[in-house]
Amino acid sequence: MQQIPLVDLKRQYLTIRDEIDLVIKKVIESGYFILGNEVSSLEREVAEYIGVKHAIGVASGTDALHLALLACGIGEGDEVITTPFTFIATAEAISYCGAKPIFVDIDINSYNIDPAKIEGKVTKKTKAIIPVHMYGCAAEMDEILEIARRYNLKVIEDCAQAFGTEYKSEKIGGIGDIGAFSFFPSKNLGAYGDGGIVVTDDEYIANKIKILRVHGSKQRYIHQVIGYNSRLDEIQAAILRVKLKKIDKWNEMRRKNSSIYNNLLNKLPVQLPKEAGKSHVYHVYTIRIKNRDECIKFLFGNGISTAVHYPVPISAQEPYKYLGYSESDLPNSYKAASEVISLPMFPELERKEIEIVCDKVKEFINK
């Protein structure tokens, strides 16, 4: 049976195998594996790509959010506004700081936090807003920044799914006070293991993160604060440097694949992704469809892999039920969670594979 994967990392590796193997060999032969030249070079190159002064490599995208919050002074008793329709790491990072996540519903078309609903959730305890650029689509940063300035709030962009996305010709991550990226292998810019990076124009924040990522130490064995072990290693940095040179090409390939999907699915009773004039790098290609779970089973039975990003809002997950949110508080998030399905999407996905997927979606609907 034809097998069409959701993501195929091996296909990408085969296109860059010689370059990847060479840089891995170079790092191993150097004998230097932690916070060396590859990491510092990647930090410089990412900062230049995003258009910011500082980039600090860390061990994961979750750590990038956590350390960003700490560097912004978020702590016990504070409140941070964010979306319930994202991966739980966004809320976890807030909880790690002793702060409380305040959930605001999404725009049902973009799946991003709805700026019109943010201001009503601001209290004296609110210290920051974390917009998530969901699925690779830029959030409405102008409106979010306007609210943040009005109430003196930090804006920490969760860019885990959106490396290379632009908002009005600016790279996301460099628009708010700080940006947090994930290099999880399946991301648009992915390592061959965990990794993350924080970007900012603020020198104080950058220096604080550099200290926090190495056990609270600026000078070896001299510790200023309780810190963490959150360092991006040299091998991953070397791999990412190879991939960074190709990210714009790969993102454009994703956009081309999304256009094929759109053209083949646009007459079916499904909700297609809506860019609304904004940049979208299609970390995933996600549609909404009735009888979603039955569709997943049907596609799986026909050799097509899918995923649900995400089936349960964070507010309804066990660790956050204590906050007391109900479906009536966040109707769009619940609606999306019950209907979204991510179809195969990666740069090397072939047109004939997309055609098979779309044919099977149509077959399911006609049944």
Identify residue 230 by its one-letter amino acid code. Answer: S
Closest to 109 (Cα-Cα) out of 260, 277, 275, 289: 275
* pLDDT at residue number 155: 98
Does residue 99 sit within a domain?
yes
51 pLDDT higher than 60 = yes
Residues 100 and 210 in one domain: yes
Does residue 2 sit within a domain?
no
Is 170:196 a contact under the CB 8 Å cutoff? Answer: no
261 pLDDT higher than 80 = yes
* Tally of residues, the chain: 367
| Domain final residue, candidates 199, 229, 244 | 244
171 pLDDT higher than 90 = yes
Identify residue 212 by its one-letter amino acid code. Answer: L
| Domain final residue, candidates 244, 268, 284 | 244
Residues 206 and 229 in one domain: yes
Does residue 56 sit within a domain?
yes
Residue 303 token pair: 């050799």
* pLDDT at residue number 317: 98
**Rounded Cα–Cα distance for residues 167 and 289 (Å):** 28
Binning pLDDT at 50, 70 and 90, where does residue 1 land? low
Does residue 332 sit within a domain?
yes
2 pLDDT higher than 90 = no
* pLDDT at residue number 274: 86
Residues 233 and 263 in one domain: no
Residues 302 and 240 in one domain: no
The average pLDDT across 262-282 equals: 89
Tell me what the pLDDT averaged over the chain comes to. Answer: 97
Residues 45 and 88 in one domain: yes
**Residues of the domain holding 93:** 9-104+113-244
* pLDDT at residue number 12: 97
Residues 219 and 95 in one domain: yes
pTM of the model: 0.97
Structural domains in the chain (count): 2
The string over 296-316, giving b where at least 16 C-beta atoms fall within 10 Å of a residue's C-beta and e elsewhere, is bebbeebebbbbbbbebbbbb
SS3 call for 158: strand
Which tens digit of pLDDT belongs to each residue from 330-357?
A: 999 999 999 999 999 999 999 999 999 9
